[in-house]
Structure 1
Amino acid sequence: MKYKAMMQYFYENKSRRYIREKYVFNSMALRMLISGFRTFGSDVLFKPPQVTASFRIMLTEYKIRNNASYIQIAKKFGYLGIAQIYQWEKIYRQNGQNGLLSLKKGREPKMTKQKKNKQELTPEQNKIKQLEQENLELRIKNKALKLFASMKQPTDKKHK
């Protein structure tokens, strides 16, 4: 969709307004895309820069040092992630380079994996665990047999 929008903008001379309305682009995102596409061509979409700690630091320092806009960042680095750039700048201003070095890719998981505590059991504990499991199985079988037997017994009602 973005590639098609850029083809229409650059080769069919469609206006930014037309592209923005047809493809439902945010105005800033479209201007960044146009700027990046103008400099890097389709690579801005199909081969975006690899985001590493050093890339984040270099981009953020450039933005702060030059008071650069998001459009200037897209033109210089070919990176279009407005929200990420904003977050990186915020982190850099609070924690410096170290803040950007420790970033992990992706979101925090919503559900945490629970670690099972596997402790070494003594032979006696293993035997007790095994006997408890057998006891449970036998109780379940016993209840099932009682239920089955009660289903087989005739009812007290006499047939006339």
Structure 2
Amino acid sequence: MIKRRRDFVLAANRGQRLGLPGLNLQARRRRAEEPAEAPVRVGYTCSKKVGGAVQRNRAKRRLRAAAAEVLPGLARPGWDYVLIGRRDATAERPFPELLGDLAAGLTRLHAREDKADAARARGEPVPEPAPRPPRKPGAKGKGKAPKPPAKPGP
């Protein structure tokens, strides 16, 4: 299970991203030199946009249940997966459809990777996903905006 922020950030910046109707999926193949406590690692997260603590926890429980059913058949050893809850979708979507979203997403991500591996085997250059640029301080949703200068006293 992914627990450290660093691993979530690596999946977001260096992995593949896929938006699905019931969730967002991020996945990355770990490098050979990276230690791994498990062959497949999974992380779950929901932002406050999903709702309060009750709604976020419900969405994460549903993501964990979906992953428990789908990942054993479709996950690949040496990969990290991050499942991100979506506002008004993860908690409300019928569970069979959520399972279908996750299965379809994993299939698409791995098909992309297989295609890139085949191109590498032929000696063709394959562009790696560009890392996401860092956010600016005070950007919407991250950090705090700088305080205005203090007014001089009377």
- TM interval, short-chain normalised: under 0.3
Q: Larger Rg: 1 or 2?
A: 1
Q: Larger % of helix: which? A: 1
Q: Larger % of strand: which? A: 2
TM (normalized to structure 2)? Answer: 0.22
